[in-house]
A and B are shown apart, each in its own frame.
Chain A
Amino acid sequence: RKEVEQDPGPFNVPEGATVAFNCTYSNSASQSFFWYRQDCRKEPKLLMSVYSSGNEDGRFTAQLNRASQYISLLIRDSKLSDSATYLCVVIHGGFKTIFGAGTRLFVKA
């Protein structure tokens, strides 16, 4: 079993739609969680940190469920520019960073 698992997609959604991604992790001692986005042939860029209390940044909402060991990302009112690969990131052991393989999102007009 992979340490961090994501549905690879692709998710094909129309502009204005709401889309949600989940990511599960296997190490219950994991302590830090993030979502990154990566455009084709570019470097990953930090989208947001994820906290148990949930956090929101504009159209993006992230949530952590420690009991079920998953994190989620919700994107509301999707834009064409949201088309990218979304990477789930989990850190455990203080410094060991594990990336999921990513979920591809295509937003179409």
Chain B
Amino acid sequence: GAVVSQHPSWVICKSGTSVKIECRSLDFQATTMFWYRQFPKQSLMLMATSNEGSKATYEQGVEKDKFLINHASLTLSTLTVTSAHPEDSSFYICSATGLVRNNEQFFGPGTRLTVL
């Protein structure tokens, strides 16, 4: 139990286009979802925290207009990278937490974004 999926697993897009990444909790209700960004051979950096039905809370230095987060239901959160540029290329990982195992975070497999 407590499985989190992400779609797509990888995406390549042209500079200037927008890309949407989905994060789903498959077998539990995720009251909170987190979005992380990971550069090659580096750690995970928290980008934002989203709660179902409310606006996301962004970490310092993360552009909210650039990285749009929607958490419309208890099983789905989306991250949209708007007007993507090559510097947005990265590995994006989501995690979800709910009333499962003391609010433990369960991580998705990640999405590799490459902007040409």
Q: Do A and B come from one complex?
A: no
